Amino acid sequence: MNFEKRMKKHGMENLNSIVPNPYPVAEPQRFFPSWAKIAAPLGSLLLAASVVGAIVIPVALNRGNEEIPVELSSATPQTSYPTDPNVTPNVTLVGAPKLNYVPEMDSKIVSRTGPKALENLCPYLTDSKNKNFTISPASYLLCASALAAVSDGFDLNAYGLVDAKDDTKALLENWNSSYGTKNQTTGAEYNWCSFKSGVLHQQVGGTYAFDDAKRQQVEDAYIATSVARLGEHCQQAQQYFKDAVDLTIPIPDVDMPGDGVLTYGALTMMDLAMQTYETSKNPFVVDGRAISVDTGYYGTEEKPVGVKYFEGETYLAFSFRIYCTDLMVVLPNEGVSLESVPLLEAYNEIALNRRIASGRAYGYIPYFHLSNYSFDVRSAFLDHMTGNEKLYSKLLRNSYLGVGPYFRAFQSTDFELCDKGVYGQSVTVAGSGSGSMPSKNPILINVNRPFYAICLKDGFPLFVNKVNNPSIRSGA
């Protein structure tokens, strides 16, 4: 049994109870006649022998002091049938090359891309007053940087991208890894973390065709490409990300009215720290009324945990470790509305700046599970398009001249903090076509009112959650 299977057996046996899938899909029942039971094994051997081009991504796992290579299967090649005679039929999905295990992302990339991605999405948080809301700057930046890598229509500086192609590659390398910590007593992996991310350019219909030479260039940047028939592009992308990165939330459908090109960026993560939290009921104030919610402790008065915290004029920001990620909490002062808290400032102080007070703390934070499906982030893209040249002109062989302007962008995100750790997944799709000294005594920080929670990987904001009511298990 390989490492990934052992991790899933240990940490995901009861996944539906730990992290319920908000979009369950019933498996169809199948009945086989007797002859099929005999022929199936022989057929499986013949099929396995005929499959060519499967992409295997070896990822080095950091498990204690030993590194274990793990084979993560990429997507099964997809086939489509364009109608344009200039487009070769049966175009096979080209998957990403090998992804290297990267223990930590370059701090320079984080400092220039993280704040930009968060800044572009902050308006969606503040505009959604009195609502739970969750977004993913990570999947947003994957989509934007991959689109910029093949297009002449972007202001790269607006996204914090020095070079879209190289930065996209660096992001994907960092967000594709799985590793765990071995329990020296039992021999079981009790703490583990898994990241999977990918980007996909998809041509819809046969009017436009990928330029093979240019496609090879973006493949070197870990960008997969494919061609789909109009009406089937969303289904094909869903299958690709399900196979490639274990994405189970639906792919947003941009409802293409005609031929065009779509760009996707997807991220899934699970960061489990077994037996870390002690679940208890604690008060949480919503609209001046206290309710009882499930919470987890991040330390006790006797054994506080190390945190980084910063006291702003209207808020307190602090972060603590899960296993491979940090969870940053931005808690407004009493009487301060959550929407008025400068989230970007708090993120910069904790994640990027050194002007923070480090010490030990204890308290509780509510468990929560937030999801937003297919909300429009079009303005976040459009504000940074220069418009000097047509989108995708570096990638497409045919011109976009004569096609009316059409651009849409959506994101779906799901995130949960529970007693096992954190779990999240997100996909963004865009389309065009027609320190100081630590304190001596631990501080008490009880998260008992609306707050922001940011999931950080090497300081990059993967998921940002606005929690107005943790008893609500969706973003509606």
DSSP label of 152: S
92 forms beta bridges with: 79
Tokens of 394: 């570096």
Buried b / exposed e over 247-268, threshold 16 CB at 10 Å, is bbbebbbbebeebbbbbbbbbb
Buried b / exposed e over 437-466, threshold 16 CB at 10 Å, is eeeeebbebbbbbbbbbbbbbbbbbbbbbb
Q: What is the pLDDT of residue 171?
A: 93
Q: What is the rounded distance in angstroms from the CA atom of residue 112 to the CA atom of residue 383?
A: 18
* Domain locations in the chain as residue ranges: 3-7+54-273+371-433, 279-368+435-467
DSSP string, 75-125: PPPPEE--S-TTSPSSEEPB--------SS--HHHHHHHHHHHHHHHHHHH
Q: What is the pLDDT of residue 416?
A: 94
Task: Classify domain 279-368+435-467 at the CATH class level.
Answer: mainly beta
Task: Classify domain 3-7+54-273+371-433 at the CATH class level.
Answer: alpha beta
Q: Give the residue from 430, 426, 435 showing the smallest Cα distance to 461.
A: 426
Q: What is the pLDDT of residue 187?
A: 62
Q: What is the pLDDT of residue 450?
A: 95
Regions of the chain with pLDDT less than 50:
1-91, 97, 401-402, 435-438, 474-476
Q: What is the pLDDT of residue 425?
A: 96
> Distances in Å between the alpha carbon of 470 and those of 122, 130, 160, 175, 385?
20, 12, 33, 28, 37
Same fold, 3-7+54-273+371-433 and 279-368+435-467: no
Q: What is the pLDDT of residue 183?
A: 63
Q: What is the pLDDT of residue 33?
A: 42
Torsion sign, CA atoms 266, 272, 277, 279: positive
What is the rounded radius of gyration, in angstroms, for the C-alpha atoms of the chain? 23
Give the H/E segment covering residue 291.
Answer: strand 289-297
> HSE (CB half, 13 Å, CA atoms) of 223?
30
The two beta strands, 133-135 and 260-273, are unpaired
In degrees, to the nearest 5, what angle opens at C-alpha 24 toward C-alphas 20 and 29?
A: 130
Within 91-219, where are the H helices?
107-127, 137-149, 164-174, 212-219
Are 326 and 269 spatial neighbours (Cβ–Cβ below 8 Å)? Answer: no
